Amino acid sequence: MSAIRFENVSKSYDGQIVLQNFSMVVQTAETKVILGGTGSGKSTVLKMVAGLVKPDSGQVLVEDEDITDLTENELQPIRRKIGFVFQEGALFDSLSVKENVAYRLRENGVRNEKEIDEIVREVLGFVGLEDAIAKMPAELSGGMKRRVAIARALVGHPRILLYDEPTAGLDPITSRAICELIIKLRDLERVSSIFVTHDLKSAYTMASEFAVLGPHGEATFVSENDRFCLINTRFLMLKEGKVLFEGPDETLRSVKEEYIQEFLS
Amino acid sequence: MSFIYQSVYEVQEFTLLSFRAVTNLFRKPRYLQDTLQQMDIIGVGSLVIIVLTGFFTGAVLALQSANSLKAFGAVNLTGQLVSLSLIKELGPVLTALMLAGRVGSGIASELGSMVVTEQISAMRALGTDPTKKLVTPRMIATTTMAPLLTVMADLFGLVGGWIVSFYALRLNTELFWTTAIRSLDYNYALEGLIKPIVFGFIVGMVGCYFGLRTTGGTQGVGRSTTQAVVTASILVIVADFFLTKIVLELRP
């Protein structure tokens, strides 16, 4: 079973082509890093997985179920499987951090305050932000907002996570912290994901490090080496709605495409 | 040609959104908490400006009409003139215009900011229908609060008219209030209450519509807000004409 599958998807906005005959597969527990410049159709891919944007032609399958022609109501059970981390977080600024994270629980009809509090503390603990529980989004820094957004996406244990430039515009240390979270989810929780970015450093971190559980149950990060090569993260490069490259990071660096070389340099 | 196409398209989208907002009333989930909160923001929040608008409109009406009525020796009818013009026309229309400025713009800019910061997308991704959570509560709030606010505007308008009549025109208090109240019948009162229901619906829905179709970042939010206020104001005035015509036709 594949987690996400695109088959010959095309999309254009007002005559401008965003995706052209785009096909790809994300396997279960795999992370697909989508690279590409601004306007290359990366964000559109993510929105299609969650059914927020409909393709003009072609099919989108989530866990082998065709979601292309589903209505908003029919999409609800699909969206429950998916956690979406938006660019800049997209936290509801009228709600506190706690209510943002608890949003999905309340929407799903959980009324038990104690249970809600427990789950919220657990996911905020995972992203290391228990202290911010009572704050409003406006009081948070950019990096904290992204982490709260990840926490909000994690509620309900989605099997698929979609990250829209989670490290864009952040300092290296915060970016690193966010990458580690995503690696933990990939390796320890076996979540399938799409990681859209133009931040090469984060992309390489994702492709070269993996998380293992230490003796006391804490996650430690190990780099791949001569004996071990990470295969659950693959790259995909988009340019003007077309796939320029797909494969592991090792081959990406050796491709002799002009645009790719320019992008990587 | 593309202008006509664009206009027809906008009317279609607006109608669809309104239709969904209304049919949401009969579908679960219902967001009671959000609805009450919007009623508070829109109703209670607008009270002061509505009272001020009503008061000074009534006052200036008394001042102006007494001046004209004097020519016919009919200053005694000032109360009647103030109450009829206020309750049938000026109360509903001015309340709606003030709401378009204060509430329509607020709704459009709030929803518009939510669109450009992807909060609407996030809401959908988290399994909420934004028309249920955002549009319907605002529609209910404006449609129910507009008539109540209109009643306040009418009341304070009459008080304003009376104060001017008493202190500036030296009219008899009892005379003012008897002519003001006698001239009213249920038909007029009904007309004065049906209008603000329609106007409230227009202000709320136009605000939501322009807010939700915002594109183009913060600049787009400003544009949507302006469009919402202008469109709502014009629609209110146009609707007022047709409603008045309909009421006049139906009157026995």
The model's pLDDT over A125-141, given as tens digits with 9 standing for 90+, comes to 888 888 989 999 999 98
Q: Radius of gyration over alpha carbons of chain A, in Å?
A: 18
Asked if residues A35 and A244 have their Cβ atoms less than 8 Å apart, the reply is no
Using the beta-carbon criterion (under 8 Å), do B121 and A90 form an inter-chain contact? yes
The predicted pLDDT at position A260 comes to 79
pLDDT for B62 beyond 80: yes
Interchain proximity B127–A91, CB inside 8 Å: no
Q: What confidence category does residue B1 fall into, taking pLDDT thresholds of 50, 70 and 90?
A: low
Contacts of A50 in chain B (CB under 8 A): 124-125
Q: How many Å apart are CA B104 and CA B209, to the nearest integer?
A: 10
Contact (CB<8Å) B121/A93: no
Residue of chain B nearest A74, judged by CA positions: B127
B-facing residues of A in 98-127 (CB < 8 A) are 103-104, 107-108
- Point out the residue among A80, A88, A93 whose CB comes nearest to the CB of B127: A80
* Pairwise CA distance, residues A259 & B118, whole Å: 30
Q: How far is B223 from chain A (nearest CA, A)?
A: 20
Q: Do A104 and B126 touch (CB under 8 A)?
A: yes
Average pLDDT over residues B224-231: 96
Q: Does A21 touch chain B (CB under 8 A)?
A: no
Instruction: Please say if the pLDDT value at position A158 is more than 80.
Output: yes
The pairing of strands A233-239 and A242-247 is: antiparallel
CA A140, CA A215: separation in Å to the nearest integer?
34
Structure tokens at B74: 């009919």
Residues B142, B203 contacting (CB under 8 angstroms)? yes
% of chain A beyond a pLDDT of 70: 99
Contact B208, B111 (CB under 8 A): yes
Q: Is 80 exceeded by the pLDDT of residue A69?
A: yes
Distances (CA, A) of B120 to B39, B199, B244: 21, 26, 38
The pTM score is 0.88
Q: Is residue B118 less than 8 Å (CB to CB) from chain A?
A: yes
Direct distance between the N- and C-terminal alpha carbons of chain B, in angstroms, rounded to an integer: 44
B118–A88 C-beta distance less than 8 A: yes
Count of alpha carbons within 13 Å of A188, Cβ hemisphere only?
A: 17
* Amino acid residing at A182: I
Is residue B90 within 8 Å of B191, Cβ to Cβ? no
CB atoms within 10 A of CB A109: 7
B128 touches chain A (CB under 8 A): yes
Choice between B30 and A38, residue whose per-residue pLDDT is larger: B30
pLDDT of amino acid A265: 73
Sheet holding A2-13, edge to edge: A16-27, A2-13, A57-62, A65-66
Q: How many CB atoms lie within 10 A of CB B68?
A: 12
Which of A47, A93, A107 lies closest to B126 in CB terms?
Answer: A107
| DSSP secondary structure letter of residue A137 | G
Kindly determine whether residue B126 and residue A103, on different chains, have CB atoms separated by under 8 Å.
yes
Residue whose tokens read 């491709």: A255
Distance CA B204, CA B103 (A): 8
Q: What is the mean pLDDT of residues A146-152?
A: 91
Quickly state the pLDDT bin for A110 (edges 50, 70, 90). Answer: confident
Residue range B134-170, pLDDT digits in tens: 999 999 999 999 999 999 999 999 999 999 999 988 8
CB-based contact (8 Å) between B218 and chain A? no
If you average pLDDT over every residue of chain B, what do you get?
92
Q: What band does A245 get if pLDDT is binned at 50, 70 and 90?
A: confident
- Greatest Cα pair distance, chain A, in angstroms, is 58
Residue A67 parent element (H or E): none
Query: How confident is residue A38, by pLDDT bands cut at 50, 70 and 90?
Result: confident
Q: B31: nearest CA in chain A?
A: A107
Task: Give the distance from residue B4's alpha carbon to the nearest chain A alpha carbon, in angstroms.
Answer: 17
A211 forms bridges with which residues in the sheet? A221
Q: How confident is the model at residue A167 (pLDDT cuts 50, 70, 90)?
A: confident
Cβ within 8 Å, pair B125-A84: yes
Where exactly are the structural domains of chain B?
31-245
pLDDT at A226: 67
The whole-angstrom separation of Cα A151 and Cα A145 is 10
Helices (H), chain A: 42-49, 72-80, 97-107, 113-126, 142-154, 172-188, 200-208, 249-252, 258-264
Which band of pLDDT confidence, cut at 50, 70 and 90, is reported for residue A91?
very high
Cα three-residue angle B134-B137-B143, rounded to 5 degrees? 130
CB contact under 8 A, B125 and A82: yes
pLDDT at A107 over 90: no
Say whether A52 and B119 touch across the interface (CB within 8 A): no
- Among residues B237, B170, B174, the alpha carbon closest in space to that of B203 is found at B237
Identity at A237, one-letter amino acid code:
M
Is residue A40 scored above 80 in pLDDT? no
* Angstrom distance (rounded) from CA B157 to CA B62: 10
| Per-residue pLDDT at A263 exceeds 90 | no
pLDDT of amino acid A249: 78
Q: Which sign, positive or negative, has the C-alpha torsion B180, B185, B186, B189?
A: negative
CA-based nearest residue in chain A for residue B29 = A107
The answer, yes or no, to whether residue A217 has pLDDT greater than 80, is: no
Order the strands of the A160-164 sheet from edge to edge: A82-85, A160-164, A192-197, A31-35, A233-239, A242-247
**CB pairs < 8 Å spanning A and B:** 48
For the beta carbon of residue B131, count every other beta carbon within 10 angstroms: 18
